[in-house]
Amino acid sequence: MAELSDLPLRDNLVGKTPYGAPQAAVPVSLNVNENTHPLPEAFIAEATEALAAALRGVNRYPDREFMGLREALAGYLGYGLTPEQVWAANGSNEVLQQILQAFGGPGRTLMSFTPTYSMYPLLADGTDTGWIGVPRDADFRVTPELAVAAIREHQPDIVVLCAPNNPTGTPMSLETVIAAYDAFDGILVVDEAYKEFDTATESAISLLPGRHRLIVSRTMSKAFAFAGVRLGYLAADSAVVDALRLVRLPYHLSGLTQAAAVTAVKHSEAMLATVGEIRAQRDRLGVALAERGYTVHESGANFLLVGGFADPGAVFERLRAQGILVRDLGIAGHVRITAGTESETSTVISAIEEFGAAGSV
């Protein structure tokens, strides 16, 4: 059996490891920011019918422009968007990959502010795009001043701003987005994967008019509880969509995916009904851990970054032994915890309270 080192990999992939959040069949899985609530029964019933109808036509290729889905997504997002300004792919990771295929590549660079979503440098590697990680402020924020200074120093071709940021949950102001856009002539991507959980900040979609280099990406994996379907999408100038059509694979969205996603958008009010409860459980978790002396960082997402652990690796193992998965992301003293159902939140609170005050483990 050959080893990876026996293969003629591209130089920029040698020594790298693939993305891999821990997966295990445990009672309380709070490590990958899924919406752990069940889907509405009315949606399941209608989606079952839509999928059955789609199955009758799978001997033919699906609509490669998926205009029905793009129209549905444009209506959901609002802001006067047209279907021509919306694009979708198999998860927001593929959306981001297509952006890098179109605007990145050899001799070009992607910049973001760390710690941030771990897939950004991996996507850069996969498209042979240079990666530049710029540290965030001490409170994990990216101010307009920091964004402009970093862009002027590094002269990237693409900048991605995660808003709210994963894994810290930190919200981002529109002032920072505007300052970053005006600071260079490249592509600015605002990754709003968790936007539905952030009620305090306007979406960057509101900034699209007159900014043809701005892209706002979204996903149905989080708030829509649709992680297993793999549907990510973006809003941008129609010229950006035309650029992505140059690099997409033919018929990249299956007819089944399109049918399921259109039905989900139709039921968006019911699909998003748990968002308020998730925010409430996030805040409840934060209050409980703060009372024990842990550092709970501000979050506009469906998770919390929590500090005050002497050994995050040991915390991860102790919780896993109790049937609870959280995420150790290598941020000193911290773990990330997804906000789940009321029962799941109670379970993780009780487990951490058994550790004692902050710094005990």
- What pLDDT does residue 357 have? 74
- What pLDDT does residue 5 have? 87
Q: What are the pLDDT digits (tens) for 303-330?
A: 999 999 999 999 999 999 999 999 999 9
Q: Which two tokens stand for residue 3?
A: 């080893």
Q: Which helix (H) or strand (E) holds 109?
A: strand 109-114
* pLDDT top residue among 361 and 72: 72
Flag whether pLDDT at 242 surpasses 70: yes
Average pLDDT, the chain: 96
CA distance 47 to 82: 25
- What pLDDT does residue 301 have? 98
**What is the arithmetic mean of pLDDT over 197-213?**
97
Secondary structure in 3-state letters for 27-87: CEECCCCCCCCCCCHHHHHHHHHHHHHHHCCCCCCCCCCCHHHHHHHHHHHCCCCCHHHEE
Q: One-letter amino acid identity for 235?
A: A
**What is the arithmetic mean of pLDDT over 143-154?**
98
DSSP code per residue over 208-237: -TT-TTEEEEEESSSTT--TTT--EEEEE-
Neighbours of 85 (CB within 10 A): 22
- What pLDDT does residue 359 have? 65
Q: What are the pLDDT digits (tens) for 103-114?
A: 999 999 999 999
Instruction: Provide the whole-model pTM.
Output: 0.96
- Percent of the chain whose pLDDT exceeds 70: 100
Cβ–Cβ < 8 Å for 90, 221:
no
Q: What are the pLDDT digits (tens) for 74-88?
A: 999 999 999 999 999
* pLDDT top residue among 136 and 16: 136
Handedness of CA 287, 292, 293, 295 (dihedral sign): negative
CA distance 194 to 211: 22
- What pLDDT does residue 286 have? 98
Flag whether pLDDT at 275 surpasses 70: yes
Flag whether pLDDT at 20 surpasses 90: no
DSSP state letter for 206: G
Cα atoms in the Cβ-side hemisphere of radius 13 Å centred on 349: 20
CATH 3.40.640.10 residue ranges of the chain are 41-267
- Percent of the chain whose pLDDT exceeds 90: 93
CATH of domain 41-267: 3.40.640.10
Cβ–Cβ < 8 Å for 33, 225:
no
Q: One-letter amino acid identity for 215?
A: I
CA distance 214 to 178: 10
- What pLDDT does residue 360 have? 74
- The CA-CA-CA angle for residues 335, 340, 344, to 5°, reads 90
Residue partners of 238: CB distance under 8 A and separation at least 6: 82, 84, 85
**What is the arithmetic mean of pLDDT over 147-152?**
98
User: What CATH architecture does domain 22-37+274-353 belong to?
Assistant: Alpha-Beta Complex (3.90)
